[in-house]
């Protein structure tokens, strides 16, 4: 095998792996978009019924569940927890915005 063949093989393998990474990133974006659609509806429901934006007990159950899922998937549970906390913090921010002005249309939907 020449050096050129070797380089070509490495480039092909890198491209193949990056193609999969791009597909996975696209799936993550779509899944997050669906999750935020649901959480926006939860935010509206909470605002309409004077419920607080955050639910720490629900969060604790989700974190425990996600840590277990991460462990069985061989993903670092601490990373899974950090990621979920990051997402939840954003959701709570949305819920606070909705509670402050429940009649405002969602700015991402051009309404
Ligand atoms: C979506 C909710 O609101 C908040 C956001 C959560 C989430 O993003 O999973 C979980 C609990 C709440 O702090 C909810 O109460 O279900």
What are the pLDDT digits (tens) for 38-74? Answer: 999 999 999 999 999 999 999 999 999 999 999 999 9
Q: Is 27 inside a domain boundary?
A: yes
Compute the 3-state secondary structure of the chain and give helix, strand, coil in percent, each to the nearest 5.
80, 0, 20
Band (pLDDT 50/70/90 cuts) for residue 111 is very low
Whether ipTM > 0.90 holds is yes
Q: Which residues line ligand 1 (CB under 6 A)?
A: 39, 42, 54-55, 58-59, 62, 87-88, 91-92, 95
Site to substitute for ligand 1 among 91, 93, 98, most atoms within 8 A of C-beta? 91
How many domains does one find in the chain? 1
Q: Is 109 inside a domain boundary?
A: no
Output the domain CATH number for residue 11: 1.20.59.10
Instruction: Report which DSSP code applies to 105.
Output: P
Provide the residue range defining the domain that includes 43: 3-103
3-class DSSP assignment, residue 78: helix
Band (pLDDT 50/70/90 cuts) for residue 35 is very high
Q: Is 70 inside a domain boundary?
A: yes
Q: Is 110 inside a domain boundary?
A: no
């Amino acid at each position: 095998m020449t050096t050129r063949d070797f380089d070509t093989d490495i480039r092909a393998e890198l491209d193949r792996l990056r193609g999969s990474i791009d597909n996975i990133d696209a799936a993550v974006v779509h899944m997050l978009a669906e999750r935020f659609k649901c959480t926006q509806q939860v935010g509206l429901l909470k605002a309409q019924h004077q419920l607080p934006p955050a639910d720490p007990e629900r969060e604790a159950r989700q974190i425990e569940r996600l840590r277990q899922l991460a462990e069985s998937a061989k993903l670092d549970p601490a990373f899974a927890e950090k990621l979920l906390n990051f997402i939840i913090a954003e959701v709570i921010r949305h819920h606070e915005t909705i509670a402050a002005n429940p009649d405002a249309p969602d700015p991402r939907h051009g309404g």
